[in-house]
Amino acid sequence: MEFKVRACRFNPETDEKPYYKEYTAEDYPGMTVLNALIKIKSELDGTLSFRRSCRSAICGSCAMKINGITKLACKTQVSHEIDKFGIINVEPLANMPVIRDLVVDQESFFDKIKEIKPYLLGQREDEAHNRFHALKEGEKISQPVYYKSEFQNLTGNEDTPNCILCECCYSECGGVVGNKNYLGPAALAKLYRYSEDPRDNDKNGSRLVGGSKPDGIWDCVHCQSCEEFCPKGISPVKAIVKLHEKSVKNSITFSAGSKHVVSIARSIGETGRLDEVKVAFESGGITGLINDLPMAFGAGLKGKIPPLRHKLIKDMEDIRLAYKELDLEDKL
């Protein structure tokens, strides 16, 4: 069966803005979108540029927008797309500048990964090797077992170690749309992966403190896109929520976001109602309040301003139970 591929093209040397070019290709059973692009490139048009390597959904090279949705081209069947859309539209990832055609500049994405200290802290990796080589004839090395049970968990901690850095989440992230400096789901999932590692020895919580700064974990807008678009079934947003919990529990509450959360909990716990003014004041201080004024004013004009003092919650017993369940009794 013949089908059409409509590829977004852009070469900064010759084009002022992106345009679309259409190609016709022949389908075969099992053909992936990546196969189609490779065929077009080798048979019709060598100028079409895209990244690819493993062709088996493990290297993270081939992420792009296919019919508007961020996916791995090597994992996407042509027939499925044609059934649904009748055509294959391919475009580069969002949230990153385009270098050419389907190739984006990933530098900012990778820089953000570097920022979260993506490695075990306080470890001496040679120790194991030296210990092994110090063994006497006939002696066996004993493996460290101290992290037995926690370690088992690590292979399942929201599956964050399975991240392939393909940038699907980053391309769809609402947080990055709003704030170019936001670290984004992949970097924060990695932050979680290392901060949950039982071998990690981050004595003063430096990684979590770093992640709590502006542009970090509190800038997530909870749009859930990262979970929805991850080709590996990972949920960065769940990891980020767990980081929120962890930082509050460890009293890393210097950022506006965490103050906001703590203040809401306290407001409800203490008075049985949500006091928006107090919460706003406690989260951002007087400057925060002033900075928020234009937004509040605009929201008010559209009739979208919440009541400044909410209704009293009738059944505090339930709330108490929930706080207890969440280990938040000290916030009451």
Which one of 131-139, 221-229, 270-278, 286-294 is the stretch in contact with another protein (CB under 8 A)? 131-139
Indicate left, alpha or beta for 139 from its phi (over 0: left) and psi (-120 to 50: alpha). beta
| Sheet order of strands, 2-9 included | 19-26, 2-9, 88-91, 63-66, 69-72
Determine whether 42 is exposed, middle or buried from the number of CB atoms within 10 Å of its CB (0-12, 13-18, 19+): exposed
Cβ-based nearer residue to ligand FES, 91 or 219: 91
Cβ-based nearer residue to ligand FES, 58 or 94: 58
Kindly state whether residue 226 participates in binding ligand FES, applying the rule CB under 6 A. Answer: no
Which one of 25-33, 81-89, 203-211, 244-252 is the stretch in contact with another protein (CB under 8 A)? 25-33
The partner in contact with residue 194, picked from another protein, ligand FES, none with C-beta cut-offs of 5 to 8 angstroms by kind, is another protein
Mark residues 74-93: x for contact with ligand FES by CB under 6 A, - for none: x-------------------
Question: Shortest CA distance to 94 belongs to which of 51, 54, 63, 53?
Answer: 63
Kindly state whether residue 52 participates in binding ligand FES, applying the rule CB under 6 A. Answer: yes
**What is the length of the chain?**
332
* Helical ranges in the chain per DSSP H: 33-39, 78-85, 107-115, 126-133, 148-154, 168-172, 174-178, 185-195, 206-212, 225-229, 236-249, 256-271, 276-301, 316-325
Q: How many residues bind another protein (CB under 8 A)?
A: 71
Distance CA 44, CA 160 (A): 40
Question: Shortest CA distance to 27 belongs to which of 81, 73, 65?
Answer: 81
Least distance (Å) from another protein to the CB of residue 241?
A: 23
Q: Which of 39, 55, 273, 278 binds ligand FES (CB under 6 A)?
A: 55
Kindly state whether residue 69 participates in binding another protein, applying the rule CB under 8 A. Answer: no
The SS3 call for residue 240 is helix
Kindly state whether residue 108 participates in binding another protein, applying the rule CB under 8 A. Answer: no
Kindly state whether residue 181 participates in binding ligand FES, applying the rule CB under 6 A. Answer: no
Q: Which residues inside 135-164 make contact with ligand FES, applying CB under 6 A?
A: none
Cβ-based nearer residue to ligand FES, 72 or 268: 72
Residues that bind ligand FES (CB under 6 A): 52-55, 57-62, 72, 74
